[in-house]
Amino acid sequence: GKGWCDIVIKLQVGANIGISCAVTNIIYNLHAILKADSVLPNLSSWTKIVKDLVISLLTPVIIMGFSYLLQVFRYGIARYNGCQNLLSPTWITTVLYTMWMLIWSFVGAVYATLVLIVFYKKRKDVRDILHCTNSGLNLTRFARLLIFCFIIILVMFPFSIYTFVQDLQQVGGQYSFKNTHSSTIWNTIIKFDPGRPIYNIWLYV
């Protein structure tokens, strides 16, 4: 209902981008640890904390704010899927929302590849590198994080490509803030049956 769905649809938008950002941040840090070409900042240092927060949260928070510009209705309710963000099918939705999941998934995939390359080159010294860099990781924890990130990237990157292509196929017309936020339909709650699961909702479960 009102209130709950208003919050949920914003969190959905943030999560769509945020998962890719967070995983990319983890892989970026794993790459920095393995590369070991400079002194790593202390885990509790402000530099480290700010960098992690910027990579993980800045884009999702900005996109959550911009999503208001794209909403045609306050929210919709889909059968079996709950609250849904109903966005304008125009180019601005692609620029301000859809493409960012693809961008961050791509960056994550690039860093995942770089981690594999560095890991292969330094495979005999990985244990010593983890110890000397004060990363707080042993080989087992490092391997678990790496495998976890690869699994997420292997799911998110193809899914982000699929979502981006699907979005491009639906783009049409010109964006108008006045028409998009028409006072006559803004508070109309659309209830619909998509006929199939909305996979971007269940993917994160």
Beta bridge partners of 77: 83, 191
pLDDT band at residue 40 under the 50/70/90 scheme: low
Taking the domains of the chain in order of start, what are their residue ranges?
Answer: 4-202
Q: What is the pLDDT of residue 167?
A: 85
DSSP assignment, residue 38? S
Fill in the amino acid letter for 116: L
Q: Which residue has the tokens 């010109």?
A: 174
**C-alpha span between 15 and 85 (Å, rounded):** 13
**Count of residues in the chain:** 205
The candidate with the shortest Cα–Cα distance to 74, out of 184, 199, 197, is 184
* Maximum alpha-carbon separation in the chain: 66
pLDDT digits (tens, 9 = 90+) for 140-173: 888 888 888 888 888 888 888 988 898 888 888 7
Q: Has residue 195 got a pLDDT over 60?
A: yes
**C-alpha span between 158 and 71 (Å, rounded):** 26
* 8 Å CB contact between 73 and 65: no
The winner for highest mean pLDDT among 57-71, 83-97, 127-141, 180-194 is: 57-71
- The average pLDDT across 30-56 equals 81
pLDDT digits (tens, 9 = 90+) for 102-148: 999 999 999 988 988 888 887 777 777 777 776 677 788 888 888 88
Residue 76 φ/ψ, nearest 5 degrees = -125, 165
**Residue 32 to residues 41, 56, 126, 127, 185, Cα–Cα distance (Å):** 11, 16, 13, 15, 50
Helices (H), 36-171: 46-53, 59-70, 91-93, 99-121, 126-132, 139-170
Q: Has residue 61 got a pLDDT over 80?
A: yes
Q: How many other C-beta atoms can be found within 10 angstroms of the C-beta atom of residue 66? A: 16
